[in-house]
Amino acid sequence: MTTQHATQVVLASRPTTPRASLDNFRVETVPMPVPEAGQVLLRVDTLSLDPYMRGRMNDSKSYAKPAEVGQPMPGESVATVLESQAANLRPGDVVLAQAGWRSHAALPAAGLRKLSLDGLQASAYLGVLGMPGFTAWSGLEVIGKPKAGETLVVGAATGPVGSLVGQLAKQAGLRAVGIAGGPKKCAYLLDELGFSAAIDHRSPEFAQQLQAACPDGIDIYFENIGGAVWNAVLPLLNQYARVPVCGLMAQQSGKLEHDTSTDHLAVTMRAVLTRSLQIRGFINYEFTEQYFDTFQHDVSALLRAGKIKHQEDVTAGLENAPQAFLNMLDGINFGKVLVQVATDRDISRQT
């Protein structure tokens, strides 16, 4: 191996407003890590960028501990083993790893999952077959409890979670209505993914258009956005509607489009009571032990059969990860946001 240094992106400072900035990140060059007994040296090939990372930038109590200032941002990657001090992994093996925003990492082999690709692209395990995919599947199946003939609405519908939610709903015989930002994304939902309707949340007539698209009301609303979108959905929820709460990107990014007030709790709670709504927040790992194997079996079969489509939005270069991350929070991306960390040159000189 000729490379003597690694690259990492650290949290330089915590955001002081809901909208993070490039100043909150710093790109560093560090010595190449050396694996100890039981560890492997990994070359990070592809890094996943996900909305939850914005919450990790804050020093506040949550379901996971915050990222540390001066340390690499957290994140999951597909990586290749370069050196191994562990019996169960060899150089050339491809693994899923919590390597963070780094080009290389020395990690315990016990915490890695070796991938058997079987004709599937490795990056799928960061999206449709990984954490986002399982979030979609578990929220829909365990909380949404879909029934044929019902109407499902999903926010951020072209993202890795929302797009799979809608496609799984269609497979189960539901009417899927997607909410997305802009005509291009709405056209993708209709023309490529087969949604029954697609509504642009940037339209001034968004609430009226959503109502027209759901003449029989909404039975399942898969919440990814919050803010003004929730305000438009709430009046349309049917008796006994289910609301899996996966994310609140409007609050995370600081963008509350068309939202002129801040307190909707009283109206929401009244609807919960009078319409017997089930609103359930969840983190996907709550369901991992019981359902993850079923998810991967079912969705990989649909993927191989061509019944599920997924879109990737790939940025080249680890140094460009901060801007790609901010673009994702602003809804500029189209599909699962990935960073291609290893270049062809990296691969050729390290194999």
Task: Provide, rounded to the nearest whole percent, the portion of the chain with pLDDT above 90.
Answer: 79
Residue 351 pLDDT greater than 60, yes or no = no
What confidence score (pLDDT) does residue 261 get? 46
pLDDT tier for residue 257 given thresholds of 50, 70 and 90: very low
Predicted local distance difference test score (pLDDT) of residue 258? 44
Q: What's the mean pLDDT in 277-295?
A: 93
Predicted local distance difference test score (pLDDT) of residue 253: 52
Other CB atoms within 10 Å distance of the CB of residue 94: 17
Mean pLDDT computed over every residue of the chain? 92
Among 331, 310, 337, 312, CA closest to 128 = 310
Q: pLDDT band for position 256 (50/70/90)?
A: very low
Which CATH number goes with the domain that contains 257?
3.40.50.720
If you average pLDDT over residues 79-83, what whole number do you get? 98
Q: Is the pLDDT of residue 260 over 50?
A: no
Do 174 and 299 share a structural domain? yes
Other residues' Cβ atoms within 10 Å of the Cβ of residue 261: 8
Whole-number pLDDT of residue 218:
98
If one compares 348 and 73, the residue with the highest pLDDT of the two is: 73
As to burial, measured by CB atoms within 10 angstroms (0-12 exposed, 13-18 middle, 19+ buried), residue 240 is exposed
65: domain CATH number is 3.90.180.10
Helices (runs of H) and strands (runs of E) counted in the chain: 11, 15
* Residues 142 and 234 occupy one common structural domain: yes
- Identify the pLDDT of residue 12: 98
Q: Which residue, among 109, 101, 94, has the nearest Cα to 76 in the 3D structure?
A: 101
The domain in which residue 108 lies consists of 5-127+311-349
Among 19-23, 101-105, 284-288, 342-346, the least confident range: 342-346
Which amino acid would we find at residue 318? L
| Domain shared by 100 and 141, yes or no | no
Same-domain check for residues 293 and 242:
yes
Task: With a cut of 60, say whether residue 293 has pLDDT above it.
Answer: yes
146 with 240, same domain: the answer is yes
**263 pLDDT more than 70:** no
What pLDDT is attached to residue 248?
A: 77
Residues 233 and 340 in one domain: no
pLDDT, one tens digit per residue, over 112-164 is 999 988 888 999 999 999 999 999 999 999 999 999 999 999 999 999 999 99
Domain count, the chain: 2
Q: Please state, in angstroms and rounded to a whole number, the distance separating the CA atoms of residues 272 and 275.
A: 6
pTM, to two decimals: 0.86
- Same domain for 150 and 271, yes or no, is yes
pLDDT of amino acid 325: 97
Q: Are residue 154 and residue 231 in the same domain, yes or no? A: yes
Residue 348 has pLDDT above 70, yes or no: no
pLDDT in tens, 180-235: 999 999 999 999 999 999 999 999 999 999 999 999 999 999 999 888 899 999 99
Q: CA 341 → CA 177, 198, 318, 329, distances in Å?
A: 35, 34, 5, 20
233 and 329 fall within a common domain = no
The pLDDT of residue 271:
87
- Asked if 237 and 214 count as a contact pair (C-beta separation under 8 A), the reply is no
Query: Do 322 and 295 belong together in one domain?
Result: no
How large is the average pLDDT for residues 271-275? 89
pLDDT tens-digit readout, 20-63 = 999 999 999 999 999 999 999 999 999 999 989 999 999 987 77
Identify the pLDDT of residue 70.
Answer: 97
* CB 136, CB 164: distance < 8 Å: yes
Alpha carbons 241 and 259: distance in angstroms, whole number:
24
Instruction: Please state, in angstroms and as integers, the Cα–Cα distance from residue 206 to each residue in 6, 196, 210, 211, 333, following that order.
Output: 47, 17, 6, 9, 21
Name which of 23-27, 189-193, 338-342, 343-347 the model is least confident about: 343-347
User: Looking at this protein, which amino acid is placed at residue 67?
Assistant: A
Domain match, 295 and 332 both: no
Residue 163: count of CB within 10 angstroms of its CB = 32
Q: Do 262 and 322 belong together in one domain?
A: no
**Where is average pLDDT lowest: 64-78, 248-262, 300-314?**
248-262
Q: Which pLDDT score is estimated for 226? A: 84
